[in-house]
Structure 1
Amino acid sequence: MAETKPLRLRTQRVPKKIAVAIENSVVQVCVDTGVYHLPDQYDYLVPESLSVLMVPGVFVKVPFGKNEVAGYVVSRLKSEVETSKLKLVSKLISPLPLLTEELIEIINLTCERYACKPWDVIRSAIPSRVAGPESIYESHSLSSNTRRNPKPKHQLTVTNSPDSLGRIINEILERNKESEQLLVIVPDERDLIQLLDTKLNHEPVLLTSNIDKSERYANYLKTRFLQPKLIVGTRSAIFTPLNPSSTILIFNDGDESMYERRHPNWNVRDIALLRSGDFSLHFLGASPTLETVRLAELGWIGKKSEGAVKREIVFSDSRTSDLSVIKEGLKVGNVLVVLAEVGYINSIACQKCRNRAVCECGGKLFLPSKGASPQCYLCTKVYSDWQCDWCQGKTIRTISKGSDRIAEEIGKAVPGYRVLTSKGSKRLDVLPNLAEHVLVIASYGCEPKGNYAAVVLKSVENLANRVELRSLESARRLLFENLIRVRGDKGSRIFVDLESNHPISQQLIRANAYDAALLEINDREVLNLPPFTRIAIISGESAAIRQLATQLEDNSLLHTVAVQPLLDKSETGKSQSRLILRANIVDSKDFSDFLRDLARYRGIKGLTSFQIRMDPFAI
């Protein structure tokens, strides 16, 4: 017989009465609601026990609906509503104010530009918390530096040497006043390693994704509370808190690594421009981006080109072969051979005049398969009877892909020399100091820092004729970067795998990357491409995307470029498509507002959500 257990009465739990702060008893908290159409900021009461620590910039836990969620304090103020209607802050996540007033504002501006929520940005801006390092700073008082109205100076510098970055960093540090800092953003770990190989006058604090999680958070706390003179980091470090009138230096802002891969897909250049009212910006690289050239032409940013170093360039239609340049170069120093990686879709050109085949929408044409008609990479329009806009020629020129076989053949042609390779996961960042002269074979973007008597640039036409939105800009940067890797002494040469009358060859001969970018800008203005337009990609279920495209046909703000089917299906098994939109740059704010309202409307109506990418690096 089962034993009967005695009945137990439930204990009635009475909520503990918590004292509320006497002064400024209310805080505005930006809450991580996880729901797009809900407001971001809500009022909460400050418990007296947390009153001293409850300052703008601290992260807290607050009750929201039936859950307890994270938030950060935006401001603290007197109560303007009946306090009995407000809930109390539950607890502090961290006693340290991790955000500054300026960063809170920049996060809001980023949300406005990229049609996203503050917590979409916070996840990139603040490193993951590790409690251990915080104890060092719990009693640390922040400096009394307050935001003032500085007169920042913005600069674009086109460099002529691989050592320019380190030299300019030291020059800025020398000029900076006592409280001013320098934040340097580089694209990736390779650039960081090459920079640290340079002698810097101050020890940098590093903020990169490659360092240990605990070290990264500890370094972020250093930047927040100790205000180091020099901070060097990759993409997310653009949100680093800085003292007023400091400088942000961005190296190669057009590199793909400068674009956040997760939603909301912001890029370093745009965030820096949002911070330009408080800090001086300095853009640096061997070839400028179209956006910075446009700003320079508008007079918003100063421009400076370091004097070009005279270097001998040999082209494929000369009597000197690439192997001859390699063999002669190895006699006096190291030689770098750079090849294009395989696997990229290449655009087509006219066989007669060699000009790129371009669609009426501005996109490049390519051949989707053997025997197929040319098709636009951007709007997918098919040209069954294509002819060149420049010379009316009808013969299509296709660009071959890079090949590992080229590297193998070059290595065999120079026996007796050590061959080093640098590509992909086997990247070599800095050339080791060796007693012998070596041949380095690298893919574009993986070239090691070193002293070279000769550089051979292969697969150049392949590199410049990819169909991506920024392919020509990227190719120009890679070519000019390699151009300045060659030391400028007598006997040093560059071989370029192009004929001397090719437009890119002429740009390299003139050694003026700024003017080359200016030529492309003029073309893009006519074609309504960035930097004169903003582009958004909206992805979702095909039926909803087609319906949206139809609704936007008569919209004067937006221009529908294309509706493209996607291979992936939704979780419900429905087909997916994407809609490519663009708007004139002067309508930038209205463009962002429209996309934010679109996402909010679909949330309120309970419709399937769209994935929105704005200003993407590639389509």
Structure 2
Amino acid sequence: MTATKRSDRRPADGSPVARVCVDVGLAHLDRPFDYLVPAELDEVAVPGTRVKVRFAGQLVDGWLLSRADDSGHTGRLAYLEKVVSPEPVLAPEVARLARAVADRYAGSLADVLRLAVPPRHARVEKEPHDEPPTPAAPTGAVDPRGWRDYPTGPALLRALADGRAPRAVWSALPGEDWAARYADAVAATVASGRGAVVVVPDARDLDRLDAALTGVLGPGRHVSLSAALGPARRYRAFLAARRGQVPVVIGTRAAMFAPVARLGLVAVWDDGDDLHSEPRAPYPHARDVLLTRAHLAEAGALVGGYARTAEAQLLVETGWAPEVVADRATVRARIPAIAPTGDDPQLARDPGAATARLPSLAWTAARDALRQDLPVLVQVPRRGYLPSISCAECRTPARCAHCAGPLALPSAGGTPACRWCARVAAAYACPECGGRRLRAAVTGARRTAEELGRAFPDVPVRTSGREEVLTDVPGGAALVVATPGAEPVAEGGYGAVLLLDSWALLTRADLRAGEEALRRWLAAAALARPAPAGRVVVVADGALAPVQALLRWDAGWFAGRELAERRELGFPPAVRMASVTGAAEAVADLLAAARLPDDAEVLGPVPAEEGRERMLVRVPRARAAALAEALHSAAGVRAARKAADPVRLQVDPLSLF
């Protein structure tokens, strides 16, 4: 649908001005531009369509945001060159959300729209499709039985079924079928005549939720959206939602902007998983996008997980979302028997437990479970064989002679190789003592599986990790070695869960180290049978706060403690923080151009990639919008000057150090 020759153009009779977001991504051009709608494109140039326009002498893509009767521009307006497709893929609600997300993250609308709407697939767009079904009359039907273990759970479902917009932070019990509970909440929302969007971390979680929703809603009532679908399938699912053919969209973070009519619920599972953080500018987090969406659409919101982030705790403490938790008696009845190996009584019985990788308590728990013909889960933080090695003589870490990256051993009898540049170090010699013998500094999942296979020679050993992720395993005796996030579900639950190498999680130089360790432990421990049939052994000191939270199964207590500490120290989410990363001169240039709020604190520099510098800017939460606007405006100044060195702006980055 291309306009006629320029000399023959005349504007449309009604609302001849089109407001267009030009897809250029430059901060100083982050505003709508006015164009005239040619009369021949009047019918197809509707808000939400993709268009082509002339901008700075080039033909560029754009989004038609709205049409108006006149323009505030005093000069001559150019015409739209083309309507790429009459399909209005950008819903008005999503356009408003995208603008709010861009403002929150100091980004541009064009960048957010690239995340919100998948690339066009012309063949899929032309496929015949059914008309949207007539919305069923709200029934208010709700089945609260699955939520009875949580005193306020049934009320949450009734509120959704009644057409209200409840908000909740849910702490799931161990062994809980979280996908079924989310399906209950979605079904209650659909019963009210509204739709829902649910976001999960990865494809395995998505498959579980997909099966649960199909069982509750029936086939054809929802679609799944994820980047792994491929262009055609993803665009087909997107169009089904945009055209109103389904009321529910589920997916990974690609679904957070999914167009759903009459939105009644947004939900996110396991919001602490870093897969929810978008790696492309402006780097939004799925949880925050969905909560913004709930606010704009006046929809309900559900944030759930076995663990609880400090951000979710802030929602509880500010009253934005009440918590949905089980009472302590129910928790005690559902949890496995959990024990640390580093507390004083255990050390008295087994003095070697402080240094042993598999202390006797863990070994005994595994042996007893296997004797009862039950599977054992072993969680290992690091993948590979020996991901870190050192000199056997002086313990100096082994590093690459070319790039100084860490050397790793890929297999038994293998040759050391650099994890950064992949160069082989066949003739490695320690630069400190000249020694040529190497020892394990960190043990990976495959080496752990090898060691356990020798310790329990008659038991099958399976691994689940990046190379192959197992979805489930049978209920018989077996050792399952998995990296965090790749733990398969065992039929009937695991007889024992061993959480090894806790130091690798707890000693990370990261603000979220304790929170992330507890999240990974709870996710694994939730797969164990309840006590006394199920046991969990964590190789860690029982006095540590994350270990205490695991022993008590009290994610809320730990999240409250974590949030209080961050308030005292001035860290997110108690404050709003932004990182500015780039060449030192470029970072200084941007900060000099930024009109930061008076109460802003500039911290740093902190370590960044080689040759780059990172500064942090901190403000009270009430000044968050002012900070984002100041940084975005400063980026616009640099873009207008065509500054050569790029600067990365990230609001509330997951990692500060």
Instruction: Please confirm whether the aligned pair reaches a TM-score higher than 0.5, indicating the same fold.
Output: yes
C-alpha deviation, 1:208, in angstroms: 0.6
C-alpha deviation, 1:497, in angstroms: 0.8
The answer to whether 1:238 aligns with 2:280 is no
C-alpha deviation, 1:294, in angstroms: 0.8
Question: What CA deviation, in whole Å up to 9, does each residue of 1:514-542 have, x standing for no partner?
Answer: 11111111111111011112222212222
Of 95, 98, 105, the residue aligned with 2:89 is 98
The answer to whether 1:294 aligns with 2:330 is no
Q: Indicate the residue corresponding to 2:635 in structure 1.
A: 599
Q: Indicate the residue corresponding to 1:218 in structure 2.
A: 236
Of 650, 654, 657, the residue aligned with 1:613 is 650
Cα gap change, 1:82/1:423 in structure 2, threshold over 3 Å: closer, same or farther?
Answer: closer
Give 2:281's aligned amino acid.
Answer: H
The answer to whether 1:46 aligns with 2:37 is yes
Question: What CA deviation, in whole Å up to 9, does each residue of 1:553-586 have, x standing for no partner?
Answer: 9973322221146554xxxxxx432222222222
Q: Indicate the residue corresponding to 1:157 in structure 2.
A: 170
Q: Indicate the residue corresponding to 1:209 in structure 2.
A: 227
Give 1:533's aligned amino acid.
Answer: V
C-alpha contact (below 8 Å) 2:515/2:546 kept by paired residues: no
The whole-number CA distance in structure 1 between the counterparts of 2:125 and 2:639 is 38
Cα gap change, 1:560/1:197 in structure 2, threshold over 3 Å: closer, same or farther?
Answer: same
Tell which deviates more after alignment, 76-85 or 312-321: 76-85
1:474-493 pair list within 5 angstroms: 474-488=516-530, 490-493=532-535
Q: Indicate the residue corresponding to 2:564 in structure 1.
A: 522
C-alpha contact (below 8 Å) 1:227/1:242 kept by paired residues: no
Q: Indicate the residue corresponding to 1:351 in structure 2.
A: none
The whole-number CA distance in structure 1 between the counterparts of 2:550 and 2:73 is 70
Of 312, 330, 336, the residue aligned with 1:311 is 336
The whole-number CA distance in structure 1 between the counterparts of 2:519 and 2:228 is 25
C-alpha deviation, 1:267, in angstroms: 0.6
TM-score normalised by structure 2 residue count: 0.77
- Provide the secondary structure at the position in 2 that maps to 1:261: coil
- Provide the secondary structure at the position in 2 that maps to 1:264: coil
* Bigger proportion of residues as helix: 2
C-alpha deviation, 1:468, in angstroms: 1.9
Question: What CA deviation, in whole Å up to 9, does each residue of 1:125-177 have, x standing for no partner?
Answer: 111110112124689579899xxxx8521111000145432221232233223
C-alpha contact (below 8 Å) 2:36/2:78 kept by paired residues: yes
Q: Indicate the residue corresponding to 2:375 in structure 1.
A: 334
The whole-number CA distance in structure 2 between the counterparts of 1:214 and 1:194 is 23
The whole-number CA distance in structure 2 between the counterparts of 1:301 and 1:603 is 40
Q: Indicate the residue corresponding to 2:193 in structure 1.
A: 179
Cα gap change, 1:81/1:142 in structure 2, threshold over 3 Å: closer, same or farther?
Answer: farther
- Provide the secondary structure at the position in 2 that maps to 1:563: strand
C-alpha deviation, 1:595, in angstroms: 0.5
C-alpha contact (below 8 Å) 2:366/2:496 kept by paired residues: yes
Question: What CA deviation, in whole Å up to 9, does each residue of 1:203-235 have, x standing for no partner?
Answer: 441101111210100100001113413321001
Give 1:498's aligned amino acid.
Answer: A
Q: Indicate the residue corresponding to 2:140 in structure 1.
A: none
- Which blocks of at least 5 consecutive residues in structure 1 are unaligned? 1-12, 347-367, 370-399, 569-574
Q: Indicate the residue corresponding to 1:250 in structure 2.
A: 268
Give 1:592's aligned amino acid.
Answer: A
The answer to whether 1:577 aligns with 2:613 is yes
Of 159, 164, 182, the residue aligned with 1:169 is 182
C-alpha contact (below 8 Å) 1:44/1:86 kept by paired residues: yes
Question: What CA deviation, in whole Å up to 9, does each residue of 1:44-71 have, x standing for no partner?
Answer: 1222222122221111111112111111
Cα gap change, 1:113/1:155 in structure 2, threshold over 3 Å: closer, same or farther?
Answer: same
1:64-463 pair list within 5 angstroms: 64-80=55-71, 85-136=76-127, 152-176=165-189, 177=191, 179-196=193-210, 198=212, 200-202=215-217, 203=219, 204-277=222-295, 278=297, 279-306=299-326, 307-308=330-331, 309-317=334-342, 318=346, 319=349, 321-332=361-372, 333-341=374-382, 401-404=442-445, 405-431=447-473, 433=474, 436-450=476-490, 451-463=493-505
- Provide the secondary structure at the position in 2 that maps to 1:37: helix
- Provide the secondary structure at the position in 1 that maps to 2:229: coil
C-alpha contact (below 8 Å) 1:58/1:97 kept by paired residues: yes
Of 558, 562, 577, the residue aligned with 1:535 is 577
The whole-number CA distance in structure 1 between the counterparts of 2:67 and 2:319 is 40
C-alpha contact (below 8 Å) 1:542/1:565 kept by paired residues: no
Give 1:588's aligned amino acid.
Answer: A
C-alpha deviation, 1:92, in angstroms: 1.0
C-alpha contact (below 8 Å) 2:336/2:536 kept by paired residues: yes
Give 2:370's aligned amino acid.
Answer: L
Give 1:476's aligned amino acid.
Answer: L
Q: Indicate the residue corresponding to 1:353 in structure 2.
A: none
The whole-number CA distance in structure 2 between the counterparts of 1:52 and 1:142 is 25
Give 2:363's aligned amino acid.
Answer: L
- Provide the secondary structure at the position in 1 that maps to 2:70: coil
Give 1:314's aligned amino acid.
Answer: A
The whole-number CA distance in structure 2 between the counterparts of 1:236 and 1:132 is 21
The whole-number CA distance in structure 2 between the counterparts of 1:345 and 1:135 is 50
Give 1:311's aligned amino acid.
Answer: P
- Provide the secondary structure at the position in 2 that maps to 1:152: coil
Tell which deviates more after alignment, 297-306 or 214-223: 297-306
TM-score normalised by structure 1 residue count: 0.81
The whole-number CA distance in structure 2 between the counterparts of 1:224 and 1:272 is 17
Cα gap change, 1:27/1:550 in structure 2, threshold over 3 Å: closer, same or farther?
Answer: closer
The whole-number CA distance in structure 2 between the counterparts of 1:537 and 1:474 is 21
Cα gap change, 1:110/1:284 in structure 2, threshold over 3 Å: closer, same or farther?
Answer: same
The whole-number CA distance in structure 1 between the counterparts of 2:589 and 2:235 is 46
C-alpha deviation, 1:551, in angstroms: 8.5
The whole-number CA distance in structure 2 between the counterparts of 1:602 and 1:495 is 54
C-alpha deviation, 1:84, in angstroms: 8.4
C-alpha deviation, 1:607, in angstroms: 3.0
C-alpha deviation, 1:498, in angstroms: 1.9
- Provide the secondary structure at the position in 1 that maps to 2:581: strand
Cα gap change, 1:59/1:437 in structure 2, threshold over 3 Å: closer, same or farther?
Answer: same
The whole-number CA distance in structure 1 between the counterparts of 2:304 and 2:123 is 37
Give 1:200's aligned amino acid.
Answer: G
C-alpha contact (below 8 Å) 1:535/1:580 kept by paired residues: yes
Cα gap change, 1:47/1:545 in structure 2, threshold over 3 Å: closer, same or farther?
Answer: closer
Tell which deviates more after alignment, 191-200 or 114-123: 191-200
Question: What CA deviation, in whole Å up to 9, does each residue of 1:416-469 have, x standing for no partner?
Answer: 1111001222222322x46x4211011122211222111111112321221123
- Provide the secondary structure at the position in 2 that maps to 1:266: coil
Give 2:309's aligned amino acid.
Answer: T
C-alpha contact (below 8 Å) 1:323/1:410 kept by paired residues: no
Q: Indicate the residue corresponding to 2:436 in structure 1.
A: none
C-alpha contact (below 8 Å) 2:307/2:522 kept by paired residues: yes
C-alpha deviation, 1:403, in angstroms: 4.1
The answer to whether 1:58 aligns with 2:63 is no
Q: Number of aligned pairs?
A: 545
The whole-number CA distance in structure 2 between the counterparts of 1:508 and 1:141 is 47
Give the aligned CA root-mean-square deviation in angstroms.
3.1
The whole-number CA distance in structure 2 between the counterparts of 1:87 and 1:553 is 34
C-alpha contact (below 8 Å) 2:267/2:303 kept by paired residues: yes
C-alpha contact (below 8 Å) 1:456/1:496 kept by paired residues: yes
